[in-house]
Structure 1
Amino acid sequence: MNRKQLAWIHHIHATVLILLLLTGISLYVSFFRTLFNEWKIPLVAIHIVIAIFYIGIMLISIYQAFLYGKKRAPIKKFNIWLFVLLFSLWLSSGILMYFQHLVPVWVRNNSVIIHDWSTWIVIPWILIHGYGHLFNVRIPWPNWWRGRKQVPDWISENKLGRRDITKSLLLFLVFLFLGGWIRWISPILSIPENEEKRRGYFRIYNVTNDYPRYEEEDWKVAIEDLNQVREELTMKDMRKLPWYSIVDDFHCVTGWSVRGVELRGIYLKNLLEPYYANHPNDIYVTVYSGDELYYDSFTISQLLDEEAMLIFELDGLPLKRSQGFPCRLYHPNMYGYKSVKWVTRIQLTAGREQGYWQTNGDYDLDGYL
């Protein structure tokens, strides 16, 4: 490639990288993620497509970039090495996140952290780099860093060899893992000793930007049988049923997990028995959220035989609004997107409905781990 072609590759690389960062940050920030859900824009799929395009650009240009930067100023070499490192981290962690069902929990959790931190690390550099180029502003880098003066002796005498670069990269990874690990265990450090300790933290995902607001005494759940006979149950009715506590690991399809969560509520088999007792086994259940948008469906055996629950408390405390207060579904063998929040309606049907994420995305209908 000549210099002009490399310049074009540089501009394409910058454009695709910005799109990748914008979609990635939108997935990370709850407000934007929810907004795209409301607009029915498949942000995850768009992010993956852009990432694949970015991989192609890097693979095409990486060798030529190294040749170009070999005799260039230190800042050029730094740019190349920085993005090669970040590309490696993004690619490896992204693959592990995509195939997270094939790897242990600790691998998928750390993959999410590495993916996030690699993004936050590069943002300041991109802002400085882009600001200087777009507005032709002279960034006060040292002249030797930009290649306009001879490298000082105290630096030239300690030029980095392969071993030094390897050590630096390993040190960088150690600090990256250390920072991610501290963030990962932070919920443990902030809870009293007598409470159930857990590993990880919840990322709150919704399909609307406003949480349904209920008072416990006003909340009701409607249950409809196959004959469309409807009955509404209150929290008082729920407390008449036996309550159970379980400690389980909560897994999200995006790759993160929270381990050792204490959940308390009622088993759906105890709640639904009067409504399905006189019906055949081939019936289905659709569970609706109070946000009036989200819902998901199950076979009757998935809820009854696999010990699905309606949850009212988490770690000994009532659910927060963002967690689905006062009631959410929980299935111990399925990903979190099957655990409908703010449950207000449970409908028995003769055929199975496609859930929200099956209609608006490519999520598996059963959602097993």
Structure 2
Amino acid sequence: MIRLKWIHHIHGVLFVLLLLSGLFLYFPTTRTWFNELRFPLVPFHIWTSILYATVILFSLRSVFKYVKNKPYIKFYNVGFNVTFIFIWIVTGVVMYFHTYFPPEMTNIAVYLHGLFTFLFIPWLLVHTIGHLFKLHLPWPKWWKRKAPVPESIAENKLNRRDFIKFTSLGVLFLFIGGAIKWFQPILNITDPNARRGYFRIYNVTSDYPTYEDTEWTFTVSGLVNNQKTFTMEDMQQLPTHTIVDDFHCVTGWSVLNVEMKGVLVNDIFTEYNISPEGPYVTAYSGDKVYYDTFTVSQLLDEGAMLVFQFDGEKLVHSQGFPCRLYHPKMYGYKSVKWIERLEFTNHRAKGYWQTWGGYDLDGYL
């Protein structure tokens, strides 16, 4: 009994840490705060979930043995929790090992992982408030005690009151899940937009750069034969290219068939007779914080672009307006938003997420 109490307390602490870190990751503002603090929120969430799953697996047999002869409400409580935990574990594994699954599957895993978190919140609030303030909900006696089940329930014939209770609870869950705009598509998985995916906004600073078209400039500097600064007007004189590609994030979500329009980095160098004299290049964001590094070949020979439009529209502010870098063979963290400068060097430094998050230096898909 004492052992189960300790398991319950450990379960509660770990679950709260998982819930809070998950919500912090979900909301762009809080995720940005933790990025600014250099707190490894994603690794923290992953390692906490592994510890949580371990505790659950080792305690499951004892818990089910304990509730076997307990009131129905306790057995239901355990079954309800285990169902949600199973869904979180499965979807979390798919998200973590997303390279082994098709993007459509990982997108649905991302939606379900978050959706079931929000659907769980009403029960969590009722459960927590009830324990803290010793509140007792008016459950039927047969539900709270190990008493004979009424004939209407045993025969699966709900009376009017039972029907209203169960219907109200179901509507409440759907409302909470459906009210979250990001998760609405999962309520209709056949919706092609749900399978296509949706952009999540991940920034490392809350201080976004703001530009008008005439203010933004792009500079090529460092070890090149011809250092030059380009205006938006200069960029508009270059040939544009449109590609349709899948945008992948290292955290597991994707947006499929994104139409991107921009200028090839190689065309800029060819048009203005710029020749790199250093083998590496650092791309700097206009937020004055973010940067990433590449080899010269990666930017000039692998189709890297300066992108100005997604799906026929100008980039929105949070997506990097007016211009962002895009490499078609690399994860989104290599796609530097609000790009302002390329600096060529003899030595390759680690990028922002290689320094603070341990991400792969090249970031190939």
TM-score > 0.5, shorter chain as reference: yes
Residue 216 (structure 1) aligned with residue 222 (structure 2) = no
Shift of the 228–353 alpha-carbon distance from structure 1 to 2, 3 Å rule, reads farther
What's the CA shift for 1:363?
0.7
Cross-structure match for 1:98 = 96
For residue 245 of structure 2, the aligned residue among 236, 243, 248 is 248
2:188 paired residue among 172, 182, 187: 182
2:28 to 27, 30, 35: 30
Q: CA deviation digits over 1:24-63, x for unaligned, max 9?
A: 1111111111110000000001001111110111011100
Pair 1:293 & 2:289 matched? yes
Superposition pairs of residues 1-369 of structure 1, within 5 angstroms: 3-147=1-145, 150-158=148-156, 180=186, 182=188, 185=191, 199-226=196-223, 230-273=227-270, 274=272, 277=275, 279=277, 283-369=279-365
Q: Tell me the alpha carbon deviations over residues 257-300 of structure 1, each in whole angstroms, 9 at most, x when there is no partner.
A: 11111110100001134565363xx6111101111100001111
TM-superposed CA distance for 1:157, in Å, is: 3.7
User: What is the alpha-carbon distance in structure 1 between the residues aligned to residue 36 and residue 14 of structure 2?
Assistant: 25
Q: Cα–Cα, structure 1 residues 146 and 110, in superposed 2: closer, same or farther, change >3 Å?
A: same
Q: Secondary structure at the match of 1:366?
A: coil
Shift of 1:78: 1.1
Q: Judging changes above 3 Å, is the alpha-carbon distance between structure 1 residues 94 and 316 closer, same or farther for their aligned structure 2 residues?
A: same
Report if the CA contact (8 A) 1:200-1:259 is conserved. Answer: yes
The SS at the match of 1:145 is helix
Is contact 2:185-2:191 (8 Å) kept?
no
Distance 1:363 1:97 in 2: 16
CA deviation after TM superposition for structure 1 residue 346, in Å: 1.0
Verify the 8 A CA contact 1:225 1:276 in the aligned structure 2.
Answer: no
Shift of 1:231: 2.4
Q: What's the CA shift string for 1:195-226, capped at 9, x where partnerless?
A: xxx92211111111232110011111121031
Shift of 1:186: 7.6
- Decide whether the 8 Å contact of 1:184 with 1:200 is kept in 2: no
Deviations 1:166-221 (A, max 9, x none): xxxxxx9xx99996163784858xxxxxxxxx922111111112321100111111
Runs ≥4 residues deviating over 3 A: 175-179, 183-188, 227-230, 273-276
* TM-score calculated relative to the size of structure 1: 0.87
User: Unaligned stretches of 5+ in structure 1?
Assistant: 160-171, 189-197
3-state secondary structure, aligned to 1:144: helix
1:366 partner amino acid: D
- Secondary structure (helix, strand or coil) at the match of 1:137 reads coil
Deviates further, 227-236 or 257-266: 227-236
Deviation at 1:144, TM superposition (A): 2.3
- In 2, distance between residues paired with 1:254 and 1:307? 24
Alpha-carbon deviation of 1:145? 1.9
Contact 1:37/1:208 (<8 A) preserved: yes
Question: 65-74 or 177-186, which moves further after superposition?
Answer: 177-186
Match of 2:180 in 1: none
User: Is the contact made by 2:281 and 2:296 (CA closer than 8 Å) also made in structure 1?
Assistant: yes
Provide, for residues 127-152 of structure 1, a one-character-per-residue CA deviation record: whole Å limited to 9, x for no partner. 10000001112223233221175432
Query: What letter is aligned with 1:27?
Result: L
After superposition, the CA RMSD in angstroms is 2.4
Report if aligned partners of 1:225, 1:275 keep a CA contact under 8 Å in 2. no
The 1:278/1:76 distance shift into structure 2, 3 A limit, reads: closer
Unaligned runs of 5+ in 2: 158-169, 178-182
Q: 1:344 to 1:360 in 2, by over 3 A?
A: same
- Contact kept, 8 Å, 1:311 with 1:329, in 2: the verdict is yes
